[in-house]
A and B are shown apart, each in its own frame.
Chain A
Amino acid sequence: CLEDITEINENPNNPEAVPSNFLLPSAQVQGTYYLGGELNRAASFWVQHWATTGGQYQRIDRYDVTDATFNNAWAQIYAGALNDLQIIIDQSEELPNYRAQARIMKAYYFQMMADLFGDIPYTEALNGVAGNITPAYDEQRDVYSDIIAELDLAIDEVDEESAVIATEDLIAGGDMALWIKFANSIKLVAYMRLSEVDENAARDGVSAILNSGAPILESGDDVELIFGSRLETNANPLFQQEFNRATDYGASDTFVAILEDLNDPRVGTLLRRDVNGDYSGVPNGNPTNLPQDGSGNTIVSRIGTVFVQETSPVPLLTYYDVKFVEAEAAIRGWVNGANAQQLYEEAVTAAFDYYGVAVGNYLDSGQPAAYDANNAYDQLMTQRYISLFARGVEAYNEWRRSGIPALTPAQNNISGGIIPLRYPYVNAELTNNPGNPPAVNIFNDPVEWDVN
């Protein structure tokens, strides 16, 4: 009977194993919640899409971030989404499509983390159960190389005959053709990200995909996660932010000025009118003299209602993202015979279409946004900047890569006038993985692909 005593120690509360298909939705939601929420937030302030109008995000807007700022995001992406995806890959040897779905998702999140943090644990990561609780950090470029290899492996793995995760696949519904397009498109964006640090690799990679006719996202193929009801705690992260602290942030005057300069008709979608019926922004850094309305709130345009519905989607990768890469490749002259103007206009139009805004005469000659071969790269990157409104992570990546638009640092900043070049490593790593995170200064040390 004493040997039997431990029988009651079998856990009656939680399972010790779970089928792979139930792990995918949690991984998709968890990572995307941060992509659209906490990670989006700081970046959207720093690229001056948004500006603070209250105390809640004031420190972030003044670049006052610490090793505690992104603790939650880092922990839940690594010890949540990524770990679950790794488990799917490890336990689904007989299910190649399951592995491909997980592998592509995992590559996407790892790229997101490498873009924001630079060198990250990769090769040795997600190995805690096997005993490695202090994973080494890999260089950002090495992470990139392996992500691309993983995406190729996933594309090869896809097997039309085999089972897929369908109902539980919240972003593609088990559509393996869409997964392949998604994988190729991630590669496209990843190669283009290297344009400044290693133009040859970038050109070769982008051209190879575009020339091979490999399937990439097409019109209507937006990879995004649609959120759900607040009462079921399924709501979009920006809805949650708006619902709880609506008056703590609004449009940055930098962003409003750029839209105004271009007579951009998207302003009515991307922003709401302020109490005076205008579209207005405030300077970043929460200076003390912001205009106030009668109830003590700052007069400013808040971000568009399209972003703050309970069910608003968080895009991971869209058709227009792909068009922008194509247009950039053409403008850079990487593709023989490509029509740069046409691709520029297609990219901008795709970005309009995403929000259902008619492009009208916006691109007509004489208009500020009309294609100008002498200034095409600047124009394209400015459009890219606008198109990534409320998609802070990617906006921050593209701004760091291109340096466009030029930004004046926020008022009251704590950095002596430097916009952070990366996110700081988190306390949980610095404390518990000592010696492995490289010593970096977020104001002085850019990530590897950021040479501007």
Chain B
Amino acid sequence: QSRTVSGKVTGADDGEPIPGVNVLLKGTGTGASTDIEGNYKLTVPEEGGVLVFSFIGMKKKEEAIGSRSVVDVQMELSVEQLQEVLVTGLGVERQAKSLGYATQNLDSDEITKAANTNLLSSLQGKVSGVQINNSTGAVGGATRIVVRGPTSLTNGNQPLFVIDGVPIDNTQRQSTDLRSGASFSNSGADINPDDIASMTVLKGPSAAALYGSRAANGVILITTKSGKGAKGKTSITVNSSVTFDNVLRYPEFQRTYATGSGGVYNPTGFSGWGPKFEGQTVYNPNDEWEGQPDSVALTAKDQFLKQFLQTGTTFNNSISVSGGKEDTHYRMSFSNATSEGIVPSTDVTRTTATLKAGTQLANNFRSEISATYTLTQSGNIPPAGQTQTSFMWQALYTGVDLDISPWKDYEAPDGTQLEYGSGFWNNPYWVVNKNRTSQRRDRVNGKVLLGYKFAEGIELIARVGTDVYVDARKGRTAINTVANVDGAFYEDQFVYNQLNSDLFLNVDKEIGSDFSISGVLGINDNRRRVQNVFSSAPAIVVPDLYNYSNIDGQPTATNNLNERRLFGVYGNLNLGFRNWAYIDFTARNDWSSTLPADANTFFYPSVSGSVILTEAIPSLENDYMTYLKLRGNWGQVGNDANPYVLSSVYGQGGTFDGLFNGINFPFNGVTGFSAGNRIGTPDLIPEITTSWEIGAEIGFWNDRLTLDATYFDSQSSNQIFNVNIAPSSGYTTVTRNAGLMTNKGIELLLTGTPIRTKSGFRWDIQANWTKVDNKVEELFGDLEQLNVGRAGFTSVSSVAYLGQPYPVIYGRSWRRNDAGEVIVSQSTGLPVLTNEQGPVAKVIPDWNGGLRNNFSYKGIDLSILFEMRKGGNLYSSSVSHYRVNGFAKETELGRESGIVFNGVAESISTEGDTTYTKNSLVVDNESFWSSFSLFGDTELGLVDASFIKLREVSLGYGLPKSILDKTPFGSVYVSAVGRNLWLSTPNPYIDPEVSMFGAADNQGYEYATIPSTKSWGFNLKFTF
């Protein structure tokens, strides 16, 4: 005997019917789904039975039938991510539970909570498996993102950015020296965070395989907001914020002794070994300025950087209009973010306008279009590093007795520069006001999409996306600039163009009640082209006019075209069984323009699977553990070469000894060419990364607490890189396939709600933790080390070293005995350096993690995010300078009594026995510190990069509905926000997150880098 039960399923929040809800008789295969009105009908046994209602994005609900014939149900929205729908490869939506790999999704709120206008840095501390570094506190600074450890030795480790299924460029383009001068941001900084609905980080090759070779470093998938689900209403959202930036950490200076040496005051002496501050009257170094007295009292003031840097401000305003009905939707937005930097006269402005619209047509077609125009503009980006125009370099040589307030007057009536002292430094106000490096990037990206639905769950999609920008920079050096008295300028222009076309069939079908099948079969054509023209003039004639009509001498110019094309065929098949078991296959074959013509194709597959054990074996489910999913995958992803590396080439002649100006051709009017330094290799094969991972998602107490744990292992082999070779071969590098680098790691993500009371108080926690063990397993032949890039120091470099994590800081360290004690020279009292250079310290951290606490009560919410990193190192040449030059706080010790370095003296007896005795040699403080080799002693600048940072705080209030109903507003939300407000790290001088190389691979170095910032401000958001 059986009977029929029916009912209506509605949403608990709005009471609207929910179509498509899966209704299952528990313990059987019997089920139905709700129709468009939310109604269902099901045949059930005569007695008892429990109905299980499930729907993507809703909490699963069980209801005993009892004797009822009508069972109406209200379903609640699920806030936990485990049940979420995720956007996966190609912008196709899949249920999170069907995925056999780890993903982490961030919604717009999580991204924009702290009103950060930089999307890349707004992800810091929030995603497991991902490390994000902000390289400087200057406007427009670069951000480096590494997903699951570095995989490539020299070809970059930045993930691919994909917006609504279309890849966009996130390259840090830099023609000028990254070690000095202005540093430009990665182009991903163009994205307006307010336009983002959600982001998903795809971490492993299996997750990323469908993006092809460019996904080897992971994929950041971005879904932009749309007007979908607007239910016929137009809504307008306005978001405004203002934030203020200050330096997060100034170096801790000693404030007892003045500039000079040997106890004698010398304001231009570059070091802090002068007399004690006693208010004595001394010669005024600012006497060049009119009205300045000849002598002044010698006192400790704010350090130079504190006097020079200012509070930066950012105003961010955006407005968006969105709306739609069942079959059309649209969204438009306009935003402007204007920042003034902490460095005077520096700024960056980003303006975006975007349109996204879609329509569902009656004849089974749908179409979608989106376009964004972005203008990123900077009037001046500050210089840093070691150049005579870098105030940061000057700061390494300037004590606390200098008053720079008169310096704001930087130009004499005759146009010469007003600077103090020896004439070695430029007046920093001169530099920031006259030597401006400007940038303007105009960018358009977007897509058109046309879909045709053959039947329910089978759709053919054609999508063409582009990303085009023109990035023009101009660097100016004014006449009368120290070290460049003739003035100079350069123009640097990049024209970037990417065209990405996909045609694919998307299938998502239930077969019977037990099986589901979904899959994709498609082709992809990706064309990228970047054209660069760099030109410069060595001197100008009339001041302040930077044009080739006004130059002395000849301009020089270089131009470069870089063009590549990748064609791919790909497929994906996901089979599901009873909503609790899934297996997923992907395969892709690529043809690349950059590989040898007869071997330009490569294939890579992946397989992944997942089982939701709590649904497969309902008895597993108990009062505590309510959800258990196991997953695993194996996959490969290939990567092609850079363009034009197959052959050796010639270039214009020229030479440079690293010290002075060098020689350029033409030489006295004669043209000269020289064979390039690199030997091309015509038989390259693709790089390949192979990885596997296993993971589990466990939900406790109805997903009140969830844990997502992953272990992964990846191997990147056949790497294409330039091996340094003996110059006596006639060349210095050869391009080879070689090398093996492995990453093994653990990622944990814990999400929970410890407290949720009836009165509306709620405390949510989200914690993530990542540990990646990276190892360089093989380089090339017997090669032990590979230079990752010039670190800019003669004796310290960034190196991939056999058997070590990538990269290591390489140089000379202190000799230690077996007990680990530092051996001290008995002639100098200084630690003894090792004879040979070697790996000194690793750069990547042991682990990193983030912890977010969210408290909410009646419209008030408080969110606090900490980020922690343990281990890893930074070589800070700034710190070496502070010490050697006698400005560091620690150099205050022993000024009168001398210094005994904590180490041991080594003595070797005539029999050859070595004994160590505690060092007791007293050395004069100044000679101790100034005897260190500034660039040769790696340990002097070595800094433990561990830190804890208070990344984000926001305290907000949303007006309650009862008040809003009397106003035209749909919502009003105000908040106070802060970022990087607090830092704890072992060294008192710098934030160890800074880097002089931005997003490049030679990490772990810092030299005269502009300090990072903390910021706070207010945010107002309202809709109507």
Q: Spell out A's residues near B (CB within 8 Å).
A: 2-3, 5-18, 22-27, 29-30, 33-34, 37-38, 66, 68, 72-76, 78-80, 82-84, 86-87, 120-121, 125-129, 132-135, 167-168, 170, 226-235, 237, 240-241, 243-244, 295-296, 426, 428-429, 431-434, 436
The answer to whether B653 and A79 have CB atoms under 8 Å apart is no
Determine the distance from Cα of A374 to Cα of B677 in the docked complex, in whole angstroms: 54
Which of B649, B674, B676, B728 meets A433, CB within 8 Å?
A: B728
The answer to whether B647 and A79 have CB atoms under 8 Å apart is no
Determine the distance from Cα of A429 to Cα of B728 in the docked complex, in whole angstroms: 8
Determine the distance from Cα of A18 to Cα of B649 in the docked complex, in whole angstroms: 9
Which of A30, A125, A434 meets B655, CB within 8 Å?
A: A30
Interface stretch (choices B148-156, B552-560, B745-753, B994-1002): B552-560
The answer to whether B727 and A78 have CB atoms under 8 Å apart is yes
Interface string of B594-617 (1 = CB under 8 A from A): 111100110000000000000000
Determine the distance from Cα of A74 to Cα of B658 in the docked complex, in whole angstroms: 13
Q: Spell out B's residues near A (CB within 8 Å).
A: 268, 422, 486, 538-539, 552-554, 556, 559-561, 563-565, 567, 591-597, 600-601, 643-644, 646-651, 653-668, 670-677, 679, 724-732, 734, 782-785, 794-795
The answer to whether B560 and A429 have CB atoms under 8 Å apart is no
List residues of chain B with CB within 8 A of the CB of A431: 724, 784-785
List residues of chain A with CB within 8 A of the CB of B600: 2, 5-6
List residues of chain B with CB within 8 A of the CB of A226: 668
List residues of chain B with CB within 8 A of the CB of A29: 653, 655, 663, 665, 667, 672
The answer to whether B592 and A5 have CB atoms under 8 Å apart is yes
The answer to whether A26 and B673 have CB atoms under 8 Å apart is yes
Q: A6-B593, A78-B727 are in contact. Are A18 and B650 (CB under 8 A)?
A: yes
Q: A13-B561, A30-B663, A73-B657 are in contact. Are A23 and B729 (CB under 8 A)?
A: no
The answer to whether A133 and B729 have CB atoms under 8 Å apart is yes
Q: A2-B567, A2-B591, A9-B643 are in contact. Are A26 and B653 (CB under 8 A)?
A: yes
Q: A38-B657, A296-B422 are in contact. Are A14 and B729 (CB under 8 A)?
A: no
Known: A6-B596, A25-B671, A170-B668. 8 other contacts (CB 8 A): A6-B597, A9-B644, A25-B670, A26-B672, A74-B727, A126-B730, A234-B668, A240-B661
Q: In whole Å, how far is A112's beta carbon from the nearest beta carbon of chain B?
A: 14
Q: What are 5 A-B residue pairs whose CB atoms fall within 8 Å in the complex?
A: A17-B650, A78-B728, A78-B730, A79-B677, A168-B670
Determine the distance from Cα of A244 to Cα of B485 in the docked complex, in whole angstroms: 12
Chain B residue with minimal CB distance to A125? B728
The answer to whether B659 and A22 have CB atoms under 8 Å apart is no
Which of B556, B593, B726 has the largest count of A CB atoms less than 10 A from its CB?
B726
The answer to whether B565 and A230 have CB atoms under 8 Å apart is no
List residues of chain A with CB within 8 A of the CB of B663: 29-30, 33, 233-235
Determine the distance from Cα of A24 to Cα of B646 in the docked complex, in whole angstroms: 26
Determine the distance from Cα of A125 to Cα of B730 in the docked complex, in whole angstroms: 7
Determine the distance from Cα of A431 to Cα of B556 in the docked complex, in whole angstroms: 35
Determine the distance from Cα of A80 to Cα of B727 in the docked complex, in whole angstroms: 9
Determine the distance from Cα of A226 to Cα of B669 in the docked complex, in whole angstroms: 12
List residues of chain A with CB within 8 A of the CB of B563: 8, 12
Which of A6, A87, A129 has the largest count of B CB atoms less than 10 A from its CB?
A6
List residues of chain B with CB within 8 A of the CB of A432: 724-726, 783
Chain A residue with minimal CB distance to B726? A433
The answer to whether A231 and B538 have CB atoms under 8 Å apart is yes
Which of A134, A168, A234 meets B671, CB within 8 Å?
A: A168
Determine the distance from Cα of A87 to Cα of B675 in the docked complex, in whole angstroms: 9
The answer to whether B565 and A233 have CB atoms under 8 Å apart is no
The answer to whether B730 and A15 have CB atoms under 8 Å apart is no
The answer to whether B734 and A230 have CB atoms under 8 Å apart is no
Which of A5, A244, A429 has the largest count of B CB atoms less than 10 A from its CB?
A5
Determine the distance from Cα of A135 to Cα of B730 in the docked complex, in whole angstroms: 10
Determine the distance from Cα of A436 to Cα of B656 in the docked complex, in whole angstroms: 27
Determine the distance from Cα of A26 to Cα of B654 in the docked complex, in whole angstroms: 7
List residues of chain A with CB within 8 A of the CB of B561: 12-13
The answer to whether B724 and A3 have CB atoms under 8 Å apart is no
Which of B268, B595, B726, B794 meets A428, CB within 8 Å?
A: B726
Chain A residue with minimal CB distance to B936? A66
The answer to whether B730 and A76 have CB atoms under 8 Å apart is no
Determine the distance from Cα of A76 to Cα of B659 in the docked complex, in whole angstroms: 14
Q: In whole Å, how far is B899's beta carbon from the nearest beta carbon of chain A?
A: 20
Q: A26-B653, A434-B782 are in contact. Are A231 and B729 (CB under 8 A)?
A: no
Q: In whole Å, how far is B420's beta carbon from the nearest beta carbon of chain A?
A: 14
Which of B539, B729, B783 meets A127, CB within 8 Å?
A: B729
Chain B residue with minimal CB distance to A17? B650
List residues of chain B with CB within 8 A of the CB of A14: 644, 649-651, 676
Q: A5-B600, A233-B664 are in contact. Are A26 and B553 (CB under 8 A)?
A: no
Q: Is the interface of B mostly helix, strand, loop or mixed?
A: loop
Q: In whole Å, how far is A435's beta carbon from the nearest beta carbon of chain B?
A: 9
List residues of chain A with CB within 8 A of the CB of B726: 121, 133-135, 428-429, 432-433, 436
Determine the distance from Cα of A109 to Cα of B539 in the docked complex, in whole angstroms: 34
List residues of chain A with CB within 8 A of the CB of B593: 5-9
The answer to whether A234 and B664 have CB atoms under 8 Å apart is yes
List residues of chain B with CB within 8 A of the CB of A3: 597
The 10 closest A-B pairs by CB, nearest first: A231-B553, A26-B653, A128-B729, A433-B726, A121-B728, A83-B730, A26-B672, A14-B649, A25-B672, A240-B660
Determine the distance from Cα of A429 to Cα of B724 in the docked complex, in whole angstroms: 10
List residues of chain B with CB within 8 A of the CB of A18: 650, 673, 675
Q: In whole Å, how far is B987's beta carbon from the nearest beta carbon of chain A?
A: 27
Q: In whole Å, how far is A294's beta carbon from the nearest beta carbon of chain B?
A: 12
Q: A5-B591, A431-B785, A433-B728 are in contact. Are A15 and B567 (CB under 8 A)?
A: no
Determine the distance from Cα of A282 to Cα of B567 in the docked complex, in whole angstroms: 69
The answer to whether B648 and A30 have CB atoms under 8 Å apart is no
List residues of chain B with CB within 8 A of the CB of A17: 650
List residues of chain A with CB within 8 A of the CB of B649: 11, 13-16
Q: In whole Å, how far is A434's beta carbon from the nearest beta carbon of chain B?
A: 7
Q: In whole Å, how far is A123's beta carbon from the nearest beta carbon of chain B?
A: 11
Which of B268, B651, B675, B724 meets A83, CB within 8 Å?
A: B675
List residues of chain B with CB within 8 A of the CB of A128: 679, 725, 729-731, 734
Determine the distance from Cα of A433 to Cα of B725 in the docked complex, in whole angstroms: 7
The answer to whether A5 and B553 have CB atoms under 8 Å apart is no
List residues of chain B with CB within 8 A of the CB of A26: 653-654, 665, 672-674
Q: A29-B653, A126-B730, A127-B729 are in contact. Are A80 and B674 (CB under 8 A)?
A: yes
Q: In whole Å, how far is A171's beta carbon from the nearest beta carbon of chain B?
A: 11
Which of A2, A9, A23, A228 meets B667, CB within 8 Å?
A: A228
List residues of chain B with CB within 8 A of the CB of A244: 659-661
List residues of chain A with CB within 8 A of the CB of B648: 16, 129
List residues of chain A with CB within 8 A of the CB of B655: 29-30, 33-34, 76, 80
The answer to whether A429 and B727 have CB atoms under 8 Å apart is yes
The answer to whether B675 and A15 have CB atoms under 8 Å apart is no
Q: In whole Å, how far is A44's beta carbon from the nearest beta carbon of chain B?
A: 15
Which of A121, A431, A433, A434 has the largest count of B CB atoms less than 10 A from its CB?
A431
Chain B residue with minimal CB distance to A233? B664
List residues of chain A with CB within 8 A of the CB of B668: 170, 226-228, 234
Chain A residue with minimal CB distance to B652? A26
Q: In whole Å, how far is A3's beta carbon from the nearest beta carbon of chain B?
A: 7
List residues of chain A with CB within 8 A of the CB of B567: 2, 5
The answer to whether B672 and A135 have CB atoms under 8 Å apart is no
List residues of chain B with CB within 8 A of the CB of A66: 795
Determine the distance from Cα of A11 to Cα of B676 in the docked complex, in whole angstroms: 13
Which of B538, B647, B725, B731 meets A16, CB within 8 Å?
A: B647
List residues of chain A with CB within 8 A of the CB of B732: 75, 79, 428
Determine the distance from Cα of A87 to Cα of B648 in the docked complex, in whole angstroms: 13
Q: A15-B650, A22-B671, A234-B668 are in contact. Are A79 and B553 (CB under 8 A)?
A: no
Q: In whole Å, how far is A256's beta carbon from the nearest beta carbon of chain B?
A: 26
The answer to whether B728 and A6 have CB atoms under 8 Å apart is no
Q: In whole Å, how far is A71's beta carbon from the nearest beta carbon of chain B?
A: 8
Determine the distance from Cα of A244 to Cα of B661 in the docked complex, in whole angstroms: 9
The answer to whether B661 and A134 have CB atoms under 8 Å apart is no
